[in-house]
Amino acid sequence: MLNLVALEGIIVRTWKADSDFLFRMACFRDPWVPPKPDGPVRDSADFVTVRIGSEMSGFPGGLAANDRVRVHGHIRSRSYTESLADFARETRGAARELLEAADPRRIVRNRVSTEISAVHILRLNGHGTHAS
């Protein structure tokens, strides 16, 4: 089976989780790809999370928001449990009101996150490349 991904886009956010470095990337569709059905703007981006694992030894870092990058890697998914407290902490508005009604740590749901596990990253705005 084939599990290879090549994407180009703009980093919109970065963060660390355990020993991994992650970023959210906005990817704009090529002209021959159908537009997103849920938006009136043809150029609205698709977003994907990219994970640079600790196994990518020697990764120089320095990636930041607004960097344009090309990523080669593979798709992977991971399962986790999210409590209402975790969910409400990440939201604004009405979800926080739920915290007053019940113990938010006891209300949980199982989730799956799909991300790109990076093998090679090329920074396109002139700052270098890295491959594991």
> Which residue ranges make up each domain of the chain?
5-77+112-131
d(CA 114, CA 63): 21
pTM, rounded to two decimals: 0.72
Residue 128 has pLDDT above 50, yes or no: no
Q: What DSSP line would sit under 35-53, residue for residue?
A: PPTT-S-TTPPEEEEEEE-
CB atoms within 10 A of CB 91: 10
CATH superfamily of 5-77+112-131: Nucleic acid-binding proteins (2.40.50.140)
The answer on pLDDT for 132 being more than 50 is no
Q: Distance (Å, rounded) from C-alpha 110 to C-alpha 45?
A: 27
Mean pLDDT estimate for the chain: 78
Residue 130 scores a pLDDT above 60: no
pLDDT tens, residue by residue, 69-113? 999 999 998 888 877 777 776 666 566 666 666 666 666 667 777
Q: What is the pLDDT of residues 101-119, one digit of tens each?
A: 666 666 666 777 788 888 8
Cα 65 from Cα 49, distance rounded (Å): 13
pLDDT band with cut points at 50, 70 and 90 for residue 28: confident
